[in-house]
Amino acid sequence: MGKSTGFMEYRRELPPEMNPLERIRNWREFQLKASEEQLREQGARCMDCGIPFCHTGQIINGMAAGCPVNNVIPEWNDLVYRGLWRQALDRLHQTNNFPEFTGRVCPAPCEGSCTVGINDPPVTIKNIEKAIVDRGFAEGWIVPEPPAVRTGKKVAVVGSGPSGLACAAQLNKAGHSVTVYERADRVGGLLMYGIPNMKLDKRTVERRVELLRQEGVTFVTGTEIGRDLPAARLREEFDAIVLCGGATNGRDLPIEGRGLKGIHLAMEFLHGNTKSLLDSDHEDKTYISAEGKDVIVIGGGDTGTDCVGTSLRHGCNSITQFEIMGKPPETRAANNPWPQFPRVYKLDYGQEEAKALYGNDPRQYLISTKRFVGDEDGNLKALHTVEIEWKAGADGRFGPVEVPGSEREWPAQLVLLAMGFLGPEPTVLDQLGVEKDERSNAKAEYGNYATNLPGVFAAGDMRRGQSLVVWAINEGREAARECDRYLMGETLLP
């Protein structure tokens, strides 16, 4: 490293952010720019650790540890420290097609595996990544690079989320003619409609999509394979198919009162909000509004946080978030050592905003919803909960046990279900005859991605189940490599 003692000389500093009470009044990204001096100092904190776990991309104890796309983080940290931004961008793009996405929305398992983080706060890897690519666009270094030669092979990619876009980018780079099918009216999948604008500005997504168009990728929107276009036609018209449709089958809560008006899956809420924002700046009133309502979000994770942040911007009356698990510890527990992803308590942006507005973290831990209650017109007016404890059963497995006498009623006119996803919707898999695993995902081996059908591959959440954007990019890139090998007999894709 250029500054071998940097981790001892500089402390971790994140870029400034817009005040929470100010940013909930708009839909803009709220992280402000760090100075070049600050970024170079943060890059200098990357130590010469010998074995950089930050880019290993392993699964340890059920969680990602290190970067799943295997970004060679120490190299571009060092290049930033030395002011070699163009070289840092080139190094970053060698492993990650879309660092402007991951630098904004990835939970940064790389930082959880940073060696500095054993004893001190880790290097600000995610922020440095974002700064590199943002500077690349600002300086005009990132331009379309269409392939010099076309192979004559045609590939259909189903789904335009992070795995589909990464797959399309790599296959196009190999010279194949790629058509991406997206059922929504805009390209981007989860990136466009699953993540709110204040977390990932949609102009950032559209900018990269336009680059891919200029490089030769064809996008077909408003077309759901299996409904608007028979899946069999893809097998007739293309030499190969890669299924990247995501895990969009949301987990529901089928308890008493579920049919009341005012209970929605999180993605229904988030999708409608962003579409209305982009179509009309919310003037068309076609979205589910939290304005003036007591809102309860059931479920944690990134989706739950996004529901909190969106509800606050609508002007909700109150916001509460239920977590069935217990509150994480302030520091790593003994059974969660480095380099595992740290399961520790933190305020994400939505909770930080709620605390600034209402004075407290909106999360309620160890709580389970029992039933919904409505008024005479079928509108939700409240829900009933019970506190739970996690105890080992006769088989040794831990499960939730209700605490007697802990029942409580909560006023609510809007409930958002953010409890994760059960897997992909079955339409295209069933029409093609793709085998599924025990979790209803497309059955295809990691690293190979081939389904039971010759020339049909699967990647991302449709293959692995609900996961991170960075895993989706990893699988999209690798599926492109295996698809290229299938088409050409060999491949130069990484």
In a shared domain, residues 256 and 245: no
- CATH number of the domain where residue 65 is located: 1.10.1060.10
> What pLDDT score does 396 carry?
87
Number of domains in the chain: 3
CATH of the domain at 259: 3.50.50.60
As given in the structure block, the two tokens for residue 200 are 């990932």
First to last CA, the chain: 26
Q: Classify residue 478: in a domain, yes or no.
A: yes
* Tokens standing for residue 488: 């050409």
**Residue 494 falls inside a structural domain:** no
According to DSSP, residue 194 is labeled: I
β 263-265/294-298 pair status: unpaired
Phi (first) and psi of residue 263, to 5 degrees = -115, 120
**Where is the domain boundary, 139, 165, 180?**
139
Same domain, 292 and 339: yes
| pTM, to two decimals | 0.96
Question: Domain check: are 114 and 158 in the same one?
Answer: no
Residue 128 token pair? 């440095």
Which pLDDT belongs to residue 467? 94
Q: Are residues 258 and 223 in the same domain?
A: no
Q: Is residue 480 part of a domain?
A: yes
Residues 293 and 411 in one domain: yes
Long-range CB pairs of 398-406, under 8 A, 24+ apart, other chains included: 400/324, 400/368, 402/368
Examine the domain organization and report whether 125 and 189 are in the same domain.
no
Complete DSSP assignment for 312-329: HHHT-SEEEEEESSPPPP
- Is 314 inside a domain boundary? yes
Domain boundary among 393, 419, 445: 419
Same structural domain, 93 and 208: no
Does residue 261 sit in the same domain as residue 334? yes
Domain stops at, among 105, 139, 173: 139
**How, if at all, do strands 154-158 and 177-181 pair?**
parallel
Q: Is residue 297 part of a domain?
A: yes
Do residues 111 and 207 share a domain? no
Residue 106 lies in a domain: yes
∠ Cα 446 449 454 (to 5°): 150
Domain enclosing residue 375, as ranges = 252-419
Q: Does residue 404 sit in the same domain as residue 314? A: yes
Tens-of-pLDDT digits for all 494 residues of the chain?
A: 678 899 999 999 999 999 999 999 999 999 999 999 999 999 999 998 888 999 988 899 888 899 999 999 999 999 999 999 999 999 999 999 999 999 999 999 999 999 999 999 999 999 999 999 999 999 999 999 999 999 999 999 999 999 999 999 999 999 999 999 999 999 999 999 999 999 999 999 999 999 999 999 999 999 999 999 999 999 999 999 999 999 999 999 999 999 999 999 999 999 999 999 999 999 999 999 999 999 999 998 999 999 999 999 999 999 999 999 999 999 999 999 999 999 999 999 999 999 999 999 999 999 999 999 999 999 999 999 999 999 998 888 999 999 999 999 999 999 999 999 999 999 999 999 999 999 999 999 999 999 999 999 999 999 999 999 999 999 999 999 999 999 999 999 99
Q: Is 493 inside a domain boundary?
A: no
Query: In terms of domains, do 238 and 259 share one?
Result: no
Residues 6+ apart with CB under 8 A from 361: 347, 351, 354, 355
Task: Name which of 307, 415, 299, 417 is nearest 363 in CA terms.
Answer: 299
pLDDT in tens, 131-151: 999 999 999 999 999 999 999
Give the separation between CA 135 and CA 80, rounded to whole angstroms: 11
Residue 405 lies in a domain: yes
Contact 72, 91 (CB under 8 A): yes
Are 394 and 450 found together in one domain? no
Quick one: pLDDT at residue 50? 85
Let me know if 87 is exposed, middle or buried by CB neighbors in 10 A (0-12, 13-18, 19+).
middle
Question: Cα separation of 33 and 41, whole Å?
Answer: 15
